[in-house]
Structure 1
Amino acid sequence: MFKFPYGIDANGNTIYDKSKLKEGTMPTRVSDIFEPDDAVADFTISDRMWEGHQRRKERNMANGKGFGYRKFFGDSEYCSTISARYWKDGSEILIDQADKNPRTLSPVEAGRLQGYRIIGNGWKYSECADNQNYNSSNPEFRIVVSKKEAYHQFGNSVAVPVIKRLAQEIVNQLLNKS
């Protein structure tokens, strides 16, 4: 499997032409969007929710359904697409915490996943603040709504880097056609 250069995943629903990918594209990791550990301590899911996720996944697999939680690691190259319902239980993207229950993304991390440059509580890996998706030419966004509303908005958003690239290609095509 190859990686799309913007570090997003569409769960196999979109086909990308590997020959069109830029050489030397910066590799991504899920941890590129992480906030410091102390900023996300409250996002660890409860024992009850974790047990429920595991039960539902086992039941659905036994019934031939593909629904269930998805767990990712900091060094994962991609993660699932976030949806507007993420605020409910975070099952689409759970972050592994080796010694305890997994956690959900914070609203800041959810925004970063969609390509918004949100400084928030800082970057766990400060070098990521200036990577291809979060460089200083991108305006900084601030979350000014509730956590629930932020998850709704980011879950309904398209990935900013993808739209920027598409818009640039449209401009290039229009200029070449004139």
Structure 2
Amino acid sequence: MVGFRRDLNIHRGFTLRDISRFYPEQRPSFGELLEPVVDSKYILTPKLWEYLYNYAKHAAKGNGFGFGLVNPENKESIARTLSARYHKDGSEILIDRGWDMATGETDFANEENQAHRPRRLTPRARALWVLKK
């Protein structure tokens, strides 16, 4: 969505027809928008991760949306839409930190696997993501 204040008179001649000329030559990958080290407050708590993990099974049956886990190592990764309510639980865009799904299914509380719980986007990454899109 694009909007202009009428009193600034900057909307004259604006068109989206040739917007592709403003696209970057190479789209930044999802991982390039992330900070390499983040505060632990952005890592999901064990309880929240367990809730979302179990809720995803519920969603797989057609009830709800579950969560979106994005692999930052994959250059082709695409995340779900960043919503205004992202700060609530951040479940639509979670950054994979090496969580082993197979181990999670058999032993969710496994200490080694728990150390790789997903994390949320930081405010800085959210701002960069919105600006670079």
TM-score, normalising length: structure 1: 0.48
Query: Counterpart of 2:96 in structure 1: which amino acid?
Result: D
CA contact (8 A) 1:74 1:95 kept: yes
CA contact (8 A) 2:58 2:64 kept: no
CA spacing shift, 1:57–1:35, aligned 2, 3 Å: same
List runs of 5+ in structure 1 lacking aligned partners. 1-19, 116-132, 134-158, 160-178
Q: Which residue of 2 aligns with 1:68?
A: 66
SS in structure 2 at match of 1:45: coil
Offset of residue 60 of structure 1: 2.1
List runs of 5+ in structure 2 lacking aligned partners. 1-18, 99-114
Deviation string 1:68-111 (CA, Å, 9 cap, x unpaired) is: 10000113432111101111111010000115100000011111
CA spacing shift, 1:25–1:66, aligned 2, 3 Å: farther
Q: Which residue of 2 aligns with 1:58?
A: 57
SS in structure 2 at match of 1:59: helix
CA contact (8 A) 1:29 1:75 kept: no
Alignment of 1:24-63 (within 5 A): 25-37=25-37, 39-62=38-61
Q: Which residue of 2 aligns with 1:127?
A: none
SS in structure 1 at match of 2:117: strand
SS in structure 1 at match of 2:96: strand
Q: Counterparts of 1:104 and 1:91 in 2: how far apart (Å)?
A: 8
Q: Counterparts of 1:75 and 1:29 in 2: how far apart (Å)?
A: 9
Supply the RMSD in Å over aligned alpha carbons.
Answer: 2.4
Query: Counterpart of 2:31 in structure 1: which amino acid?
Result: S
Deviation string 1:136-162 (CA, Å, 9 cap, x unpaired) is: xxxxxxxxxxxxxxxxxxxxxxx5xxx
Q: Does 1:95 align with 2:95?
A: yes
Aligned length: 96
Q: Which residue of 2 aligns with 1:80?
A: 80
| Percentage identity across paired residues of the two chains | 28
TM-score, normalising length: structure 2: 0.62
Offset of residue 59 of structure 1: 1.1
Q: Counterparts of 1:57 and 1:106 in 2: how far apart (Å)?
A: 23
Q: Counterparts of 2:122 and 2:88 in 1: how far apart (Å)?
A: 13
Q: Counterparts of 2:123 and 2:27 in 1: how far apart (Å)?
A: 23
Query: Counterpart of 2:124 in structure 1: which amino acid?
Result: V
